[in-house]
Structure 1
C-alpha cells in the first residue's frame, strides 16, 4: 500500500539567505499609506536561483499564497500567524520562521499610527540591486511587475505594547 504524505517539505533556511525588511509610505489623496517590503538578498547557500522556492516555502507555512492580484486582508482574519508589532523607534514582523526587527522611517511610523495597518509585500524574487535603504530603489523593486506577480501581499493590523 502506498501513502502520500501531506507534510510540507522541510524548509531549507540556508537557501533563504539574509531577509531584509524595508519600510516606506506612499502619498495618496486620503493620506500616506504605509508599506513593508520583505525579501531575501539572494545570498543563501543555493544563491539567487534557490531563493524563490525557499521564500515560497516559508510563505506557504504561514498560509500565504504568492502571485496574482490577491491581497489578503489580515485586519478581518482571526488566527493569521503573521504579526506586526510597532513600538517607539522600532517594529517587528513575526511569522513562523521569521522574527525580523527593523527601524521604520518616521513617515512610515506616522502613517501606521494614523491607519492602524501596513501593507506587506513579501517578495519571492531576491533583491535585485541598489542599496536596500534607498527609497527609489525600494519603490522600483516593490512596484516591478516581476516582484508583484510572485509576491504574497497582506494588509497587516498593527499591534503595540500597552502599559
Structure 2
C-alpha cells in the first residue's frame, strides 16, 4: 500500500532567507538530558516571509522530512540526506539546502553523546526576532518552540550523532 504524497512546489534558495541553527539541552523530571537543535529562517528571503515559509516546507519535504507529522526516527535511515556531525565541540547539520555549524555547550555535548541522538526541529515559520549573534533567552526560545502553530508546521527528526574517527 502506498500513501499519497503532497506535491512540492519549485522554490529558489534565495526565498529561504537567512537560516539559523541553535541548540539547547534539558530534561523533563525523572528523564535524562536530551540535546535539541532548532533550524529556522529569519523570514528575510527575496519574496517575503510567506514565500519563505512555503520554500522551507518544500526544501524539507525534498530532504525526506515530514512537515507537521510525527517525529521521524532517522537512526535507521542512512540514506536520508539530513546529517549531523558532532566533533570538537561543534555540531554541523547538513541538508541539501542548508549547512550550519553551531558551537555547542558542554552539557549539550554530554547529552548528545550519552543518548547517541539529537532531537531536531526544522521550523517552516520564520522567527525574525532571533537574530544571529544576539542571545536568545530561555523564555523567548520556549515561547517559539512551544507555540502550537510552530510545532504543527515544523518537521521533527531524531538524528543519530555521528563523529569523525
Residue pair 1:85, 1:92 contacting (<8 A) in 2 also: yes
SS at match of 1:49: helix
SS at match of 2:49: coil
Q: Is the deviation greater in 32-41 or in 131-140? A: 131-140
Aligned residue in 1 for 2:4: none
Matches of 2:99 and 2:129 in 1, distance apart?
24
Check 1:92–1:113 CA distance in 2 against 1; reply closer, same or farther (3 A cut). same
1:87 counterpart = 2:87: yes
Deviation at 1:115, TM superposition (A): 0.7
SS at match of 1:50: helix
Aligned residue in 1 for 2:147: 144
When normalised by structure 1's length, the TM-score is 0.88
1:133 counterpart = 2:136: yes
Greater than 2 Å deviation, 4+ residue runs:
7-11, 128-136
Aligned residue in 2 for 1:112: 112
Residue pair 1:33, 1:118 contacting (<8 A) in 2 also: yes
Residue pair 1:52, 1:125 contacting (<8 A) in 2 also: yes
Aligned residue in 1 for 2:38: 37
1:49 counterpart = 2:50: yes
1:96 counterpart = 2:96: yes
| Structure 2 residue runs without a partner (length 5+) | 1-6
Deviation at 1:77, TM superposition (A): 2.3
Matches of 1:31 and 1:150 in 2, distance apart?
27
Q: Is the deviation greater in 126-135 or in 50-59? A: 126-135
SS at match of 1:125: coil
Count of aligned positions: 155
Matches of 1:61 and 1:139 in 2, distance apart?
28
Residue pair 2:41, 2:128 contacting (<8 A) in 1 also: no
Matches of 1:8 and 1:51 in 2, distance apart?
14
Aligned residue in 2 for 1:23: 23
Alignment RMSD (CA, Å): 1.7
Deviation at 1:57, TM superposition (A): 1.2
Aligned residue in 2 for 1:66: 67
When normalised by structure 2's length, the TM-score is 0.87
